[in-house]
Structure formats: structure tokens, C-alpha cells
Amino acid sequence: MGIANSLRVALPHGFNLGATCPQPALVPRGVQSDRLAMLKNEKEMLGLNPDMEYFWCYNYNTGTRWPDYYGSEDHYKLVFAADEGTEACFFRKP
């Protein structure tokens, strides 16, 4: 109950937690998949900063791949921290 009350106080008026999931939603890579770093050429073709690290997930069984990074950092991040007898909720948008 303490976390629910903290969220009501900390979040902006009209905030909807369901609308905060950034796109694409990241999914676990699975057993038959690997997380592979993008090549510099791939990043340039996608218009990404070639100096940053971006990844693909690749499934060996199906031959499919999907991006394993957020398209932007413009989303809310909710962080919980707790110590013995202390609860804190940090809410920020970068």
C-alpha cells in the first residue's frame, strides 16, 4: 500500500502508466536467440549514432531478428529504492 500511495503523490496529474511503455517494447531474447551488436554500417543505414552501442536479437530457429534498443530516451523511468525502514520512489523524465 505504501508504494501505491507514493505513486499517487509523485506522478503528475492525469498520468497513465499504461501509456508510458516506449516503442518498441523490449522482449526477452529467448533460448534459441542471441543479442548481437550492430555493425557501424547498420547503425548508419538506420540513422543511428554510429558511436553508440545498439543491438539486434536474432532467433536461429526462425531466422528472425528484432531491434533490442529504444527508439528514443523520451520516456518516463520509474525507479524504486528501499532501505530498512525507508521507502523512496523516484520519478523522472530525461
**pTM reported for the whole predicted model:** 0.57
CB 54: neighbour CB atoms within 10 A? 17
DSSP secondary structure letter of residue 17: G
**Counting Cβ atoms within 10 Å, is residue 12 exposed (0-12), middle (13-18) or buried (19+)?**
exposed
Interatomic CA distance for residues 22 and 2, integer angstroms: 26
3-45 tens-digit pLDDT: 666 767 777 777 777 767 777 677 777 889 999 999 999 999 9
50-84 tens-digit pLDDT: 998 999 999 999 999 888 887 766 666 666 666 66
Q: Mark out the alpha helices in the chain (DSSP H runs).
A: 2-10, 40-45
Residue listed under C-alpha cell 536479437? 57
40-53 tens-digit pLDDT: 999 999 998 899 89
